[in-house]
A and B are shown apart, each in its own frame.
Chain A
Amino acid sequence: DGGITQSPKYLFRKEGQNVTLSCEQNLNHDAMYWYRQDPGQGLRLIYYSQIVNDFQKGDIAEGYSVSREKKESFPLTVTSAQKNPTAFYLCASSMGDWEQGQFFGPGTRLTVL
C-alpha cells in the first residue's frame, strides 16, 4: 500500500540534544513538507521540498534542519537551538500538481524532558 510513514511515533529527548525525525513516502510524490502542530493551533510549516536536493524554509524554520537526498525521504532534525521543541510533528507529501491536496503521515510526538 502506498503511503507516508513517520518514525518513531513517540520520541523523548533531553534538552541540548539534537534529534532526527524520519519521513518516508512511496507515493512517488515530488513535494514533501514538515509541519508542527501545537494544541489549539493549526499546522505551521517548518520546511518544504519540491524536488530532490532542494528545500525551502517555511514560517518557523529556526532551530530545524532538513535534507532531501532521495525522493522518498525527507528527514527533519530538531536542533538544540529550537527553544520549544515539544510538539506533534507531521510530514506530508503531494504531487507536483499539488492541487490534489497533501497526504499526511501519522505524526511523531516529540517531548523534551
Chain B
Amino acid sequence: AQSVTQPDIHITVSEGASLELRCNYSYGATPYLFWYVQSPGQGLQLLLKYFSGDTLVQGIKGFEAEFKRSQSSFNLRKPSVHWSDAAEYFCAVALYSSASKIIFGSGTRLSIRP
C-alpha cells in the first residue's frame, strides 16, 4: 500500500543550527512531492513541491528539499533555522493523476532552542 513516513515525531534544534526533516514514501512510480508547514491552530502553507527535473528544489522561507529516487526520500533542509520556524511540518505525496489521492505524513514538530 502507498504510504508516507515521517520518522521523526519531534525535533529540537538550536537557533542558527542547520535542519533536516526526513520524509520517505512508498509508491510504485515517482509521485508528486510536497512539503507544508503549519503554525499552531492554523492552516497549512505550501513550502515547496517537486514534480520533475532538478532534484534539488528551493522553496519559501529559505527551505530546500532534495528528491532521491534511490532512497524514496524527499528530505527538507534549512541551513540556519530561526525561532519563527518552530511549527509542524508535513510531507505529502500524490499520484500524478489525482489530487484527491494526496497522502500526508503524520508530521514532524519542530522546536527551536534559544
Say yes or no: A42 contacts B103, CB within 8 Å.
yes
User: From A104, which residue of chain B is reached at the shortest CB distance?
Assistant: B43
Chain B 79-113 per-residue mask, 1 if CB under 8 angstroms from chain A, else 0: 00000000000101000000110111111000000
* Bound-state Cα–Cα, A98 to B94, Å: 10
Say yes or no: B99 contacts A42, CB within 8 Å.
no
- If over half of A's interface residues share one DSSP class (helix, strand or loop), that class is named, otherwise mixed; here it is strand
Of the four ranges (under 10, 10 to 19, 20 to 34, 35 or more), the interface on chain A belongs to: 20 to 34
Of the four ranges (under 10, 10 to 19, 20 to 34, 35 or more), the interface on chain B belongs to: 20 to 34
Q: Which of A4, A58, A94, A104 has the most CB of B within 10 A?
A: A104
The answer to whether the Cβ of B74 comes within 8 Å of any Cβ in the partner chain is: no
The answer to whether the Cβ of A48 comes within 8 Å of any Cβ in the partner chain is: yes
Q: Which residues of B contact A40 (CB under 8 A)?
A: 9, 106-107
- Sample 9 A-B pairs with CB under 8 A, ordered by A number: A6-B43, A44-B104, A48-B99, A58-B100, A99-B32, A99-B51, A102-B102, A104-B43, A106-B42
Pick the 7 closest A-B CB pairs, nearest first. Answer: A104-B43, A42-B104, A98-B99, A101-B46, A104-B44, A43-B104, A42-B106
Residues of A near any B CB (own CB < 8 A) = 4, 6, 31, 33, 40-45, 48, 56, 58, 90, 92, 94, 98-107, 109
